[in-house]
Amino acid sequence: MHNRHCTRTRSRAAATGTAISTACLILSSTGFAQEPIIGPQIRIDVNGGVEAANETTISSIHMNPNEVVAGWNDWRESTGFSEIIRMGVAVSNDGGQTWEDFLLRAPSGHQSTVEGDPMTCYDNRTGTLWAGAMSWTGSGGVYVARKRPGENTFDDPVMTYVYGGIDKGWMAAGVDPFDPNATRVYVTYNLGNQYSTDMGQTWTNPRSLGSGIGFLPRVGPNGELYVAYWDYGSGVMLARSFDGGQSFEPAVRIATRMDTWSTQDGSRFPGSFRVPPLNSLAVDPNNGTVYSVYFDTTDWSGGYRNVDLYFSKSTDQGANWTTPRVINSDSNPAGDQFFPWIEVDERGWIHMVFYDTRHTVQADNAPHGMFDAYYALSTDGGDTWREYRLTPNSFDSYYDGLDRGSSQFLGDYLGLAVGGNKVYPCYLSTQNGDSDTFSHVITLPVLEMMKPIPGVSGQDNTFEVHNATPGEAVHFVYGLRQGSVNVPGCSGLTVSVRNPTIMGSAVADASGIASLGLFVPGNAGGRTIYLQGVERGTCQVSNLLPFVFE
């Protein structure tokens, strides 16, 4: 497992010229409470047997992170050289420990032998999850299905649009910009953007977003709709709507690619599968910062192209973007990093999954391309990143489980979900001799306010916060009511106490425990006191603990 705190800054102008510098350091864990706990690989498409699976997607929710929905292209019904593609879906209600997988078909009358390009999305307001895919036939099109909170199955799928010429769709859901107590669900693909105001039961007709592919929608904290896409050329592009998808502003260029290639081209990478240069996008649910990650050719290393992950962000609703810079660490000679997927959790931490070739020195187009899946985490808005190898060993693209001769297929993208303090990457690996779908349960360190000991008024009590950053000061606050108050110096961070009072501070020890001893007056007994810890140095807050002293 690799732990790298990387400040590598190969940067370049977004629209002109190239200026590249490298400064990548491996640092200690100072400034970070504890490392994430990376759980073991868990195969989630078990009922797929030895047939191929690829193009993964996954979603979870903050209000109940134990609920997770994943999807992929599934070949389990194929026979011999006759390929039958379905959308495979897996549901977990125990935080990714166990999964039930099955096929999610298009509605009757719209089914075909090819139903794929899976997509999932989440609504943190209601706890609803959706899954969807595309059916390629004259009466096919885009279909989606809703999973209600706590359920193991989906409602009957509905068609969002019936049309045979559809390609690569993704979904998103979020607050309706006209009603903070309502949700809008979005689907974007090559025909444009559709939205639903009734939780996915009925849909508008597509509104064109222009020429491009890989249209990825994301919803901001106030209902802003952002759609990232590739314009088939040098443009990493963004469409924006501030009226719930009814109209769109002129497209914004996030960045200009230094290298570009066709959707079917994979010549810059080991293996013989296509690698379309699609983009990933995410929005901070607190302050609305928009993040973009894409992959591009940086230079040549060891006689072969060196493809890296580029990061840019916008703090003004996507109007202006920082100069893209490389955020991955690497080997020497350099490997390739590609297929990134990013998400932002409730505290503003950025999570990413991607493929990596750094562990094997290999040529572009080598028939046996060796790859690993990686997870990366940034707790400071993308300034620095830590990386963790997920796959136990590099896997071989040659064993993709398909009978296509020398042509391979690993899919066009990966997936990652966040929910509470859990992260669920979703990727394929051929380690079993065919392409299977895997996930992990990654548990994040979270400041945890513990119950006071002994919890009795009229005497001394010990208050503790666990999982704090060693050497950092933790402020203990209390209040008599719940509320929301900004934490000074931490943009977008709030404590959940009305009129909070700081009752004291303590520095966390080497094990991440901050301990404070205080006398609790007798008149505090029998009343609900709301307790919370704040670590301003790293802009973290603990859980809100309602407590009644005896």
Nearest-angstrom CA–CA distance, 325 and 458:
57
* Span of 189-198, 257-266, 360-369, 443-452 with lowest mean pLDDT: 443-452
pTM higher than 0.85, yes or no?
A: no
pLDDT digits (tens, 9 = 90+) for 83-111: 999 999 999 999 999 999 999 999 999 99
- If you average pLDDT over residues 374-378, what whole number do you get? 97
pLDDT exceeds 50 at position 493:
yes
pLDDT digits (tens, 9 = 90+) for 325-371: 999 999 999 999 999 999 999 878 899 999 999 999 999 999 999 99
Domain 135-415: which topology? Neuraminidase (2.120.10)
Q: Domain limits of the chain?
A: 135-415, 448-548
Cα atoms in the 13 Å half-sphere on the side-chain side of 44 = 34
pLDDT digits (tens, 9 = 90+) for 421-452: 899 999 999 999 999 999 999 998 778 899 99
Nearest-angstrom CA–CA distance, 175 and 221:
7
Q: What is the pLDDT of residue 22?
A: 25
Higher pLDDT, 319 or 302: 319
- Take residue 238 and report the two structure tokens written for it: 């963004």
pLDDT confidence of 114, banded at 50, 70, 90?
very high
pLDDT confidence of 34, banded at 50, 70, 90?
low
> Looking at this protein, which amino acid is placed at residue 49?
G
CB contact at 8 A, 58 and 426:
yes
Instruction: Give the whole-number percent of the chain exceeding pLDDT 70.
Output: 94
Is domain 448-548 in CATH 2.60.120, yes or no?
Answer: no
Nearest to 246 by CA among 228, 230, 223: 223
- Take residue 129 and report the two structure tokens written for it: 């999850």
Element (H or E) spanning 477, and its range? strand 473-479
Nearest-angstrom CA–CA distance, 166 and 172:
18
